[in-house]
Amino acid sequence: MDGKNLTRRAFLAASTGTIAAVASSRVPVYANAGKKAGKLAIKGGKPVRTKKWPAWPQWDESAEEHVISILRSGNWFRGRGSTVTTFEKKYAELLGARRCICTFNGTNALLTAMHVLDIGVGDEVIVSPYTFIATYNVVIGSSALPVFADTDPETLQINPDKIEERITRKTKAIMPVHILGLPANMDKIMAIAKKHNLIVIEDACQAWLAEWRGKKCGTLGDLGCFSFQNSKHLPIGEGGAIVGNDEELMDRVMSYHNCGRPYGSVKRTSSYPIIGTNRRMLEYQAAVGLSQIKRLESDTARRNENAGYLTSRIKDIPGIIPHKLYEGVTRAAYHLYPFRYKKEHFNNAPRDKFLAALRAEGVPCSGGYGPQYRDGLIEEALNSKNFKRSFSKARLDKYRRELNYPGNDQLCREAVWIGQNMLLGSRSDTGDIADAILKVYENRDKLA
Ligand SMILES: Cc1ncc(COP(=O)(O)O)c(C=O)c1O
């Protein structure tokens, strides 16, 4: 069946969706002329796409001379070079932040932010349950209790209207995550933080150049943290950064991440005036970062353009619910492009069948995060010596009873993620994603 030739009547008759949903839909059509729904590839039909997707990361050969010159020099640590400092300046400039200090990964950027803001034993931190596990780990690793506020399945972000009910006497901070590179609702989060005198650390590890009302994510709270891991939009393999506008606080970040050595307002009263650790970025890490940073702006623009196009192509397919962006979002980063799958519109086929069918059409995809707060790490933390000493039994029992997040669970059941590299192709490449989804929809009676 060719979607272009699908009449509205035939489409309505074929649809298994609710009357209201179908009635409000427009007839979806194929993005790339000539594509035929045909037989599903998973059933032996011809896939919508066999061409490869853009590779990630992409190496820029012109950076080799710089990287090799650092390697040959033997000056690999930041104390014997200026490359890390140059990269920090460039990244701060790009974000419109006063300062940036790099670490060897994003997890340690977050741990550093927690430490310098004095969040630790006995404190509670409100976080989103829908995030990469590192967000949970840094709170637990700082001996603080990660208190989850439910997820808004429509935006995939922490639901700001669920935050205040989680605040207790011990709440010290909120850690919003701009998950998948889509900004969290920073107006509401900052207003709640102000009202309750809470610190805000933005986990912007997936949100390079994303913006809330024209300001870059990571620069809105007290500190913002980024990851430059292999899959990220500014990939170094491993790498991280902390950005902030408070000079004294950033001096502390610099000092703490460098063994507690004096820096700026952390005065040279002794060799080691404050507690420290070693989380320094390497010179050749920064050299790779300097080469990758060049493409970040144009890649971000392309991802946004293709994401908008993809939404326009799939929004009328029954059972496919594109993500929503809050009104305050002026730019998203699209580390992943998410939508939700409603199986009742797909002949009740479980999401796994839909994912397998889409992959067979040449569109890699995944179901994303599961309800990780039910994984072993939370129970291990609650049973640890640290937690038993810092929180009452009554508090931990209540915490266990509250480990129930229906919005998050719904999203974990329904989400479908498309990788960021797939938004770096042409409009026609993006059209293939839409066409594959439409083809699976049209063959939904063969899915279950
Ligand atoms: C939301 C989020 N937070 C934290 C991290 C940790 O960053 P890294 O892997 O660089 O340690 C990541 C990385 O994937 C992330 O996606």
Each residue's pLDDT tens digit, 294-309: 999 999 999 999 999 9
Of 9 and 60, more confident? 60
Instruction: Let me know if residue 329 belongs to a domain.
Output: yes
Instruction: Let me know if residue 155 belongs to a domain.
Output: yes
The pLDDT of residue 32: 80
pTM of the predicted structure, to 2 decimals: 0.93
pLDDT at 6 over 60: no
The pLDDT of residue 3: 37
Q: Domain holding 51: CATH number?
A: 3.90.1150.10
Please, which residues have CB within 8 angstroms of residue 434's CB and are 6 or more apart in sequence? 30, 31, 310, 313, 314
DSSP secondary structure letter of residue 155? T
Whether residue 253 sits in one domain with residue 348: no
106 ligand 1 Cβ < 6 A = yes
Whether residue 299 sits in one domain with residue 285: no
For the chain, the domain total comes to 2
107 ligand 1 Cβ < 6 A = yes
Instruction: Let me know if residue 231 belongs to a domain.
Output: yes
Whether residue 152 sits in one domain with residue 27: no
Instruction: Let me know if residue 108 belongs to a domain.
Output: yes
Which of 206, 208, 228, 372, when mutated, tests ligand 1's pocket best, judged by the most ligand atoms within 8 Å of its CB?
A: 206
The pLDDT of residue 22: 40
pLDDT tens profile 74-106: 999 999 999 999 999 999 999 999 999 999 999
The pLDDT of residue 35: 60
The pLDDT of residue 29: 84
Phi-psi sector, 40: left (phi>0), alpha (psi -120 to 50), beta: beta
Instruction: Let me know if residue 237 belongs to a domain.
Output: yes
Instruction: Please state, rounded to an integer, the average pLDDT across all residues of the chain.
Output: 93
Whether residue 75 sits in one domain with residue 206: yes
Which of 227, 228, 231, 234, when mutated, tests ligand 1's pocket best, judged by the most ligand atoms within 8 Å of its CB?
A: 227
**CB count, 10 Å around CB of 419?**
19
128 ligand 1 Cβ < 6 A = no
Whether residue 95 sits in one domain with residue 19: no
227 ligand 1 Cβ < 6 A = yes
Residue 22: C-alpha distances to residues 14, 310, 347, 355, 416 (Å): 10, 20, 14, 23, 21
Whether residue 135 sits in one domain with residue 232: yes
Instruction: Let me know if residue 22 belongs to a domain.
Output: yes
The whole-angstrom separation of Cα 353 and Cα 359 is 10
pLDDT band (50, 70, 90) for residue 19 = very low
From 250, 274, 292, give the residue that closes a domain: 292
The whole-angstrom separation of Cα 147 and Cα 166 is 7
The whole-angstrom separation of Cα 324 and Cα 320 is 12
Of ligand 1's atoms, which has the minimum distance to the CA of residue 110? 4
Over residues 188-209, the mean pLDDT reads 98
The pLDDT of residue 11: 32
CB 174 within 8 A of CB 184: no
Find the 205 Cα to ligand 1 centroid distance in Å: 5
pLDDT at 397 over 80: yes
| Length reported for the chain | 448
pLDDT at 207 over 90: yes
- The domain in which residue 438 lies consists of 3-56+295-368+411-446
Whether residue 281 sits in one domain with residue 306: no
pLDDT band (50, 70, 90) for residue 23 = very low
Residue 101 structure tokens: 């200090």
pLDDT at 7 over 90: no
Whether residue 191 sits in one domain with residue 74: yes
Whether residue 136 sits in one domain with residue 17: no
The pLDDT of residue 24: 46
CB 3 within 8 A of CB 29: yes
From 265, 292, 319, give the residue that closes a domain: 292
Instruction: Let me know if residue 377 belongs to a domain.
Output: no
Q: Looking at beta carbons, which pairs linking 269-275 to residues 24 or more positions away fall under 8 Å?
A: none
pLDDT band (50, 70, 90) for residue 444 = very high
pLDDT tens profile 29-44: 888 866 657 899 999 9
Q: Domain holding 242: CATH number?
A: 3.40.640.10
C-alpha of 83 from chain center: 27
Whether residue 349 sits in one domain with residue 239: no
pLDDT band (50, 70, 90) for residue 448 = confident
The whole-angstrom separation of Cα 37 and Cα 45 is 9
The pLDDT of residue 17: 32
The pLDDT of residue 92: 98
pLDDT tens profile 215-266: 999 999 999 999 999 999 999 999 999 999 999 999 999 999 999 999 999 9
Instruction: Let me know if residue 383 belongs to a domain.
Output: no
The pLDDT of residue 15: 33
Atom 8 of ligand 1: nearest residue by CA position: 106
From 292, 313, 337, give the residue that closes a domain: 292
Find the 229 Cα to ligand 1 centroid distance in Å: 8
Whether residue 345 sits in one domain with residue 249: no
pLDDT band (50, 70, 90) for residue 4 = very low
Whether residue 307 sits in one domain with residue 335: yes
pLDDT over 90 for what percent of the chain? 91
Locate all alpha helices (DSSP H) within 319-390, ordered by sequence: 351-360, 376-382, 385-390
